């Protein structure tokens, strides 16, 4: 990141990822594990867990709470960052706000507050997201301007994410249904292996839930995974977005409920407060594409983030790519010449297996990348990237503090 002074004389400061947690992801609907739990209470669970895991952080040192939600109404409305801070028992002096960039909501909460840290407005922040798709189905209560269609500003498919994925298959015929299904099977298998190796559980916040007509249950694992899924299983699924299509419930993320939260700080504040450093922010970028093929958004966003960082795609040792649809990931891999089974990609599986509660998913990617950094100190740089509805993509590049050439450690040693 640049180090030139700003117009006010401030120097841009290094931003570090201290910690990240999430609730188990549930299936949306009345039978899902979070059906009887409010969205804001899911966020509160995450905030409290961050404080529990980082006891050296005085709550009053948190400078802001940024929480994303795509459908900002009901229990996801009322400036959820502020209401969640109050509900979590934080001091009244801690402000908060809500943010929306659809699927990249939590990612944008991180990048927005990280910019405030870099500028010097904040020392420590909490950033995350929530989506209770059981309470608030995607698009519920929205009123798209009729000019989008009457003036042909966007293709009608742009308003339906499944249709945009079918359009991406049209644009990239090398990404066949069979290939998408094969990728989805691998995602399920990798998540099952990660669970078997206790890679996922340490960052999950147990949530007590109650379904109508039944008692309370403590949920501590994700609900959507289908371990043991086979190609034969997926081949039999219908294609709901197009007759004889290629997108199915098996090679796309489901409709889910869940929340995430991350703790970010300046490197100086982290050192002062004795907070761990799990990653250093290197660069980030967002980019727009045609809304009807929104899944290709991570490509220009990644190219932009790499340029800003002075890196090449070959420098990225780990990729956490949100699996909204298999075709979206595969088109990204093809663009950059990466094979479908590259061991750098989604080592713990992805959203096809674990779920995608829209605005919360960006921090899940970051939390999983941080754990992989700790596991593999040979990797210096990693990336979190995702497509975004209405034709966007977002990418964040991170550096591994466990790598021998970690730049922040080198600069501190030099000082």
Active site residues: 103, 356, 387
CA atoms within 13 A on the CB side of 305: 29
Residues with Cβ within 8 Å of residue 127, at least 6 apart in sequence: 65, 66, 67, 106, 109, 110, 112, 113, 114, 261, 262, 264, 363
Residues with Cβ within 8 Å of residue 7, at least 6 apart in sequence: none
- Dihedral angle sign, alpha carbons of residues 142, 143, 144, 145: negative
Per the CB < 8 A criterion, the answer to whether 190 and 200 are in contact is no
Indicate the helix (H) or strand (E) that contains 283.
Answer: strand 279-288
> Strand, coil or helix: what is 312?
coil
Indicate the helix (H) or strand (E) that contains 129.
Answer: strand 124-132
Torsion of CA 370, 375, 379, 381, to 10 degrees: 0
In sequence order, which ranges of 88-237 are alpha helices (DSSP H)? 105-119, 147-150, 161-171, 177-196, 231-235
CA of residue 307 relative to chain centroid, distance: 22
Beta bridge partners of 397: 283, 383
Q: From CA 279, how far away is CA 401, in angstroms rounded? A: 6
């Amino acid at each position: 990141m640049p180090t030139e002074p700003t117009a006010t004389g401030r120097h841009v400061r290094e931003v570090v990822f201290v910690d990240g947690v999430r609730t188990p992801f549930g299936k949306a609907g009345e039978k899902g594990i979070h059906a009887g739990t409010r969205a804001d209470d899911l966020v509160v669970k995450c905030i409290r867990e961050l404080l529990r895991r980082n006891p050296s952080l005085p709550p009053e040192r948190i400078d802001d709470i940024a929480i994303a939600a795509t459908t900002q109404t009901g229990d996801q409305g009322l400036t959820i960052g502020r209401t969640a801070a109050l509900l979590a028992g934080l001091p009244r002096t801690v402000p908060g706000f809500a943010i929306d960039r659809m699927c990249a909501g939590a990612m944008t909460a991180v990048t927005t507050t990280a910019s405030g840290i870099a500028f010097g407005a904040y020392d420590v922040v909490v950033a995350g997201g929530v989506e209770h798709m059981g309470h608030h189905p995607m698009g519920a209560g929205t009123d798209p301007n009729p000019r989008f269609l009457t003036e042909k500003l966007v293709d009608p498919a742009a308003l339906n994410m499944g249709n945009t994925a079918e359009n991406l298959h049209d644009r990239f015929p090398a990404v066949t249904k069979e290939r998408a299904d094969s990728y989805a099977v691998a995602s399920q298998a990798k998540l099952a292996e990660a669970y078997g190796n206790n890679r996922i559980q340490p960052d999950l916040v147990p949530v007590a839930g109650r379904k109508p007509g039944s008692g309370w249950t403590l949920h501590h694992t994700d609900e959507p995974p289908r371990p043991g899924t086979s190609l034969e299983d997926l081949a039999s699924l219908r294609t709901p977005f197009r007759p004889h299509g290629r997108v199915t419930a098996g090679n796309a993320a489901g409709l889910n409920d869940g929340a995430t939260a991350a703790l970010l700080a300046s490197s100086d504040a982290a050192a002062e407060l004795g907070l761990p450093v799990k990653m250093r922010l290197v660069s980030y970028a967002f980019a727009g594409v045609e809304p009807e093929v929104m899944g290709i958004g991570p490509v220009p966003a990644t190219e932009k983030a790499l340029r800003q960082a002075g890196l090449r795609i070959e420098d990225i040792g780990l990729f956490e790519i949100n699996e909204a649809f298999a075709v979206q990931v595969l088109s990204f891999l093809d663009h950059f010449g990466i094979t479908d089974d590259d061991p750098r990609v989604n080592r713990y599986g992805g959203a096809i297996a674990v779920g995608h509660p829209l605005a919360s998913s960006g921090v899940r990617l970051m939390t999983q990348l941080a754990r992989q950094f700790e596991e593999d100190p040979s990797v210096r740089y990693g990336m979190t990237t995702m497509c975004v509805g209405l034709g966007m993509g977002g990418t964040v590049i991170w550096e591994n503090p466990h790598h021998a050439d970690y730049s922040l450690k080198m600069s501190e040693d030099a000082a």
